[in-house]
């Protein structure tokens, strides 16, 4: 099999240029979708028959939680590619995922707490879902801390990649915690097999938010990735040409 | 309008959640752009000091 496309794709100058060209194609649709999804969720969707208008927190909570898991999965996959094929650009992508994932984990945790106060009567319980999501935050922080603690970039890449790959075990734990254990957290109503157990007028804005947040994540990742590539390739001739222009 | 703002009694959950999430989104946009700009400035500085490779 011909693998030249793989190496051409992973070549830093190619990826740097491609990321720059792609960014607006993700950023603008994401802004539009998030605005539409927010309007749909806060204004158009009917109130829930049990939770009233309190359920509307879901329109920012669930997409944030989704990103927190997606970012970690992408980070672990990129780290594994970097480790196996010694691809520098993959390590750069993994490093770019971490701060984004950490922030959306914070968003998921805090919006969940704000929703939990009136619904459960408390901000926090040591429940499997909440606890594993908190562990996810610590994994991100550990990954970033490890990277910044190791001076040599290549050693930092390898060590942090191992941590990212080992930590990926936490992703299915977060995802299935509400099914495996008795959890106070609601069961999934969208991301499950079979029909969603939420009505279309409520679901449509939520799906729009999921797509909008995902595109936002890609746009932010591409911007960060370009910076990471420049930092790693600072001795390369192409970088001099790019930044001089 | 005030009905909308009161969120059926859940204003203290819904609005801080929305504000926090969009604050985090705004911060991430700023931080990503800053991180890229800093990397480019650093590469430029290096080029100015060392000359073209």
- The per-residue pLDDT for range A2-14, each reduced to its tens digit, is 677 777 777 899 9
Q: What are A93's two structure tokens? A: 């992508």
State residue A94's pLDDT score.
97
Contacts with A, B 1-53, CB within 8 Å: 4, 7-10, 12-14, 16-18, 20-22, 24-25, 27-29, 31-33, 35-40, 42-44, 46-47, 52-53
d(Cα A174, Cα A131) in Å, to the nearest integer? 9
> Cβ contact (<8 Å) for A118 and B39?
no
Residue A70 resides in a domain: yes
Residue B53 pLDDT more than 60? Answer: no
Nearest residue of A to residue B6 by CA position?
Answer: A53
Burial class of residue B26 (count of CB atoms within 10 Å of its CB; 0-12, 13-18, 19+): exposed
- The per-residue pLDDT for range A25-57, each reduced to its tens digit, is 999 999 999 999 999 999 999 999 889 999 999
**Residues of chain B with C-beta less than 8 angstroms from the C-beta of A216:** 25
Q: Which ipTM score applies to this complex?
A: 0.93
**Taking a C-beta distance cutoff of 8 angstroms, is the pair A95, A161 a contact?**
no
**DSSP count for chain B of H helices, then E strands:** 2, 0
Domain count, chain A: 1
Residue A243 pLDDT more than 90? Answer: no
Residue A96 resides in a domain: yes
Residue A44 resides in a domain: no
d(Cα A127, Cα A177) in Å, to the nearest integer? 9
Residue A123 resides in a domain: yes
Band (pLDDT 50/70/90 cuts) for residue A230 is: very high
Q: Is A133 on the interface with B (CB under 8 A)?
A: no
**Residues of chain B with C-beta less than 8 angstroms from the C-beta of A107:** 20-21, 24
């Amino acid at each position: 099999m011909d693998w030249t496309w793989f190496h051409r794709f992973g070549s830093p100058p190619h990826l740097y240029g491609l990321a720059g060209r792609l960014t607006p194609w993700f950023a603008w649709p994401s802004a539009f979708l998030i605005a539409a999804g927010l309007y749909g969720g806060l204004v158009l969707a009917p109130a829930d028959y049990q939770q009233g208008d309190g359920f509307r927190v879901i329109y920012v909570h669930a997409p944030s939680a989704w990103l927190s898991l997606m970012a970690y999965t992408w980070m672990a996959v990129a780290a594994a590619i970097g480790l196996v094929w010694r691809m520098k650009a993959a390590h750069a992508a993994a490093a770019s995922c971490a701060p984004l994932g950490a922030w959306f984990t914070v968003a998921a945790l805090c919006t969940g707490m704000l929703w939990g106060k009136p619904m459960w009567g408390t901000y926090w319980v040591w429940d499997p879902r909440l606890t594993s999501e908190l562990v996810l935050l610590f994994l991100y922080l550990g990954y970033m801390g490890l990277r910044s603690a190791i001076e040599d970039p290549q050693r930092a890449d390898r060590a942090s990649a191992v941590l990212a790959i080992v930590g990926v075990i936490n992703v299915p734990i977060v995802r299935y915690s509400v099914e495996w254990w008795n959890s106070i957290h609601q069961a999934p109503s969208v991301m499950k097999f079979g029909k969603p157990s939420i009505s279309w007028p409520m679901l449509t804005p939520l799906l729009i938010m999921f797509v909008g947040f995902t595109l936002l994540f890609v746009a932010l990742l591409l911007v960060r990735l370009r910076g990471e590539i420049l930092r790693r390739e600072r001795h390369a001739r192409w970088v001099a040409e790019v930044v001089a222009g | 309008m005030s009905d909308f703002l009161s969120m059926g009694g859940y204003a203290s959950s819904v609005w801080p959640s929305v504000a926090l999430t969009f604050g985090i989104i705004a911060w991430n946009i700023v931080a990503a752009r800053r991180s890229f700009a800093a990397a480019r400035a650093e590469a430029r500085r290096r080029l100015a000091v060392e000359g073209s490779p």
